Amino acid sequence: MRRDLGERIWALAVWTLVGFFVLNLLAMIGSVVVNSFGTRWFNTWLPAGFTTQWYSLAWNEFQLPDILLVTAEVVGAVVLISGLIGVPAAYAMARRNFPGKQMVMFLFLLPLLVPPITYGIPMATVLYQAHLAGTIWGVILANLVPTVPFVILIMIPFVEQIDPRVEAAARVFGAGMGRLFLQILVPLLLPGILAALLLVLVRTIGMFELTFLTSGPSSQTLVVALYYAVFAAGVRPGQSIDAMAVVYMVTTLVWLLIALRFVNPTQIVTRAKR
């Protein structure tokens, strides 16, 4: 529809706001990146010189190789296990209407709606009692709490999209449960599974609170290590902290971009879309 002057001004104001936000966001990221490559940077727009020494420093000081390995193990395990538990559960939820289904659905929604800190502290307490906290398995279990329901909620619409008559046809032609799953369902669900698991991956890399509350010195993920580095900022040169931050950022953003090939940005955010 056509726009008069008042509407044009309003549109301009809105776009200015958006532009301002994006500009600051990119500047914020930019300053971290620039700082991580700068030699000395005091009262100037850009550092005096550029170097990569901070990266080697951070690599050793923060034990990045170990941390990256732990992160990979945790994320890998979370992705795998939440897929193995979540996808069949989603299938059952989509295909069966059993008594108490509403309750179960609500049960799956809760970990997604309640913020991690709120349930993290009681959960960490229980894990400590079970002597699991501080180990890598404690971290993995903690991170599974929001991701299993997440996978279920994402997968249910994908399962519903498959015509049940396709499954019926497979049964008529003699397929048992296992063959049905492997040869029919999984191939059809593959895009959805891929989307869900990529989203789990991205979210788990960035999941701070749960890992923070349950990790020990040998089971920290990258984001928790970064927190500790920033927290003890006086001890280490700021540039090396920023170098670590850049490593974290690159790791996260690379997986984000991969995930976005399969998924809409909105799905990262709307966990429980009604």
Partner 1 sequence: MSVARMSLRGRLREKGLDSVTLLVIPAVLFVLALFIYPFLYGLVLSFRPKAGGGWLANYAKFFSEPFLYETIQITLVIAVPVTLLNVVLSVPVALRVRLLRRQRLLTTILVIPITLGTVMVAEGLLTYLGPRGWLNRTLLEFGLVDSPVRLIHNYWGVMLSLVITGFPFTFLLTLSYVTGIDPALEQAGAVLGARARERFRRILLPLLAPGLAITLALAFVQAFTVFPSAILLGAPAGPTRVISIIAYQAAFEQYDYPLASAIAMLMAAVQLVIIMLLLGARTLVFRGPASSGKG
Partner 2 sequence: MAVVSRDFQELRLDNVSRDFGQLHALRDVSLTVKRGEFVALLGPSGCGKSTALNCIAGLLQVTGGSIWLDDLRLDELGPEDRGFGMVFQNYALFPHMSVRRNVGFGLVTQRRPSAEIARRVDEALALVRLETQADKLPGQLSGGQQQRVAIARAIVVGPPLVLMDEPLSNLDAKLRLEMRAEMRRIHMTLGSATIYVTHDQEEALSLADRIVVMMDGQTRQIGTPEELYARPANADVADFMGYRNLFPSSAEAADGGVAVIVGGARLAGTAVGEVGARAMVAVRPDDMRLTGDGPIEATVEFAEYHGRDFYAVARMADGTELYFRSESRVVAGETVRLDAAPSRVLVYPA
Q: Which residues bind partner 2 (CB under 8 A)?
A: 1-2, 4
Nearby residues of 220 by Cβ (< 8 Å), 6 or more positions away: 67, 70, 211, 228
Shorter beta-carbon distance to partner 1: residue 196 or 242: 242
- Contact between residue 69 and residue 251 where contact means Cβ atoms under 8 Å apart: no
Stretch 49-68: interaction string toward partner 1, x if CB under 8 A? --------------------
Nearest-approach distance from CB 10 to partner 2, in angstroms: 15
List helix spans (H) across the chain.
5-37, 53-61, 64-95, 101-113, 116-129, 136-161, 164-172, 177-179, 186-205, 209-214, 222-231, 238-260, 265-269
Residue 41, token pair as written in the block: 């940077």
The single residue among 68, 134, 252, 262 that binds partner 1, judged by CB under 8 A, is 252
**Alpha-carbon span 155 to 161, nearest angstrom:** 10
152 belongs to the binding site for partner 1 (CB under 8 A) = yes
> CA-based angle 187:189:195, to the nearest 5?
120
Q: Give which of partner 1, partner 2, none residue 27 binds (C-beta under 5 to 8 Å, depending on kind).
A: partner 1
104 binds partner 1 (CB under 8 A): yes
Does the protein bind partner 1 through residue 1 (CB under 8 A)? yes
Which of partner 1, partner 2, none sits in contact with 241, Cβ below 5 to 8 A by type? partner 1
Rounded Cα distance between 78 and 86, Å, is 11
What's phi and psi for 114, nearest 5 deg? Answer: -80, 130
Task: Look at residue 210 and give the partner it binds from partner 2, partner 1, none, a contact being a CB closer than 5 to 8 Å depending on partner kind.
Answer: none
CB of 9 to partner 2, least distance (A): 16
User: Using CB under 8 A, which residues numbered 153 to 192 contact partner 1?
Assistant: 177
Nearer to partner 2, 3 or 179 (CB): 3
Using CB under 8 A, which of 57, 72, 85, 175 touches partner 1?
85
Residue 92 in contact with partner 1, rule: CB under 8 A: yes
With CB under 8 A as the contact rule, the residue among 126, 166, 169, 186 that binds partner 1 is: 126
Size of residue set near partner 1 by CB under 8 A: 94
Minimum Å gap between C-beta 204 and partner 1 is 11
Integer CA distances (angstroms), 246 to 34, 143, 226, 242, in order: 10, 23, 10, 6
